[in-house]
Structure 1
Amino acid sequence: MKDYIEERVLELADYIIETGATVRATAKKFRVSKSTVHKDITERLLEINPGLAAQVKAVLDNNKAERHIRGGMATKEKYQHHED
């Protein structure tokens, strides 16, 4: 694996752990695709640092569990703005 890819993978992982960011938010921050972030943190990180991969997985699992709540809040906010 090329050095710059390995460096990116570790940066993405650290960012997700520190901020609790979603894949989408991480992709936007680092200006890469969601597919790249997902592949980096689910496949490449496992090869580089399995312990860190487990921490990232815990954050992503939590984000997935809360996804329906965030979606509901976004819908609520959308329709509150339409009432104005």
Structure 2
Amino acid sequence: MKGNMEERAERLAQYIIENRTTVRAAAQKFGISKSTVHKDISERLPQFNRVLYQQVKEVLEVNKAQRHIRGGIATRKKYRGE
């Protein structure tokens, strides 16, 4: 998914908003690193599409608030052998 960084940032943001997904899941879907997704969303997107940035930021804030819960669930599964 190389090429136009603005287009990539918009596609990533739309995917995250539509699917209410995490940065990690978006990176896996598009075949790029989490760092690239984060940079596209947090640095590049606000420069040319502020409205879309505000929408994706809301989704990522919810994900950040739930992160500790998902981590606890993953740890429980790990030690239960699931």
State the alpha-carbon separation in 1 of the partners of residues 26 and 19 from structure 2. Answer: 10
Shift in Å, 1:75: 0.6
1:35-78 C-alpha deviation (Å, 9 max, x unpaired): 11001001111012101100110000000000000000001111
What are structure 2's unaligned runs of at least 5 residues?
none
Aligned-pair identity (%) = 60
> Aligned pairs, how many?
80
State the alpha-carbon separation in 2 of the partners of residues 7 and 51 from structure 1. Answer: 15
Hey, which bits of structure 1, 4+ residues long, moved more than 6 A? none
Shift in Å, 1:81: 1.3
Matches within 5 A, 1:58-73: 58-73=58-73
Shift in Å, 1:79: 1.4
TM-score, reference length from structure 2 = 0.91
What are structure 1's unaligned runs of at least 5 residues?
none
Could you tell me which residue of structure 2 aligns to residue 49 of structure 1?
49
TM-score, reference length from structure 1 = 0.89
Q: What is the CA RMSD across the aligned residues, in angstroms? A: 1.3
State the alpha-carbon separation in 1 of the partners of residues 33 and 17 from structure 2. Answer: 19
What SS class does the counterpart of residue 81 from structure 2 fall into? helix
